[in-house]
Amino acid sequence: MGRGALGYMNFAEFFAMGGYASYVWGSFGITAAVLCLNGLAARLQRKHVAAEVRATLAERTELAP
């Protein structure tokens, strides 16, 4: 079985990562998860703060004559 220029015969070999699949894909998976979670957290934080600020501004408008 010759190896192509990229070293992988097919997707099966690519996913197998020479036997190190759980380590390699585990690493990329954890990285992707943490980066996505940070993105979500930032979005949630913005929503939360915007709502709080709008509430504060609404309060102020109500109290003003």
Partner 1 sequence: MSLLSRITKFASPAPFYDLAEHVIPWCWIIFYCSLLAGLVGGLVFAPADYQQGESFRIIYVHVPSAWMSLFVYMCMASAGIGSLIWKTKVSDAFGRAVAPLGASFTFIALVTGALWGKPMWGTYWVWDARLTSELILLFLYLGYMALQNAIEDARGAARAGAILAIVGTVNIPIIHYSVEWWNTLHQGPTVTKFDTPSIHWTMLLPLLAMVIAFTAYFFALGLRRTQTELLAMEPRNKWVEERLAI
Enumerate binding residues for partner 1 (CB under 8 A): 6-8, 14, 17-20, 23-24, 26-28, 30-31, 34-35, 37-39, 41-42, 45-46, 49-50, 52-54, 56-57, 60
How many other CB atoms are found less than 10 A from the CB of residue 8?
A: 15
Structure tokens at 24: 């390699």
Q: Least distance (Å) from partner 1 to the CB of residue 12? A: 13
Find all residues with CB under 8 Å of 24, minimum gap 6, and list them: 17
Q: Least distance (Å) from partner 1 to the CB of residue 2? A: 15
Residue 64 or 65 with smaller CB distance to partner 1: 64
Q: Which residue has the tokens 């949630």?
A: 44
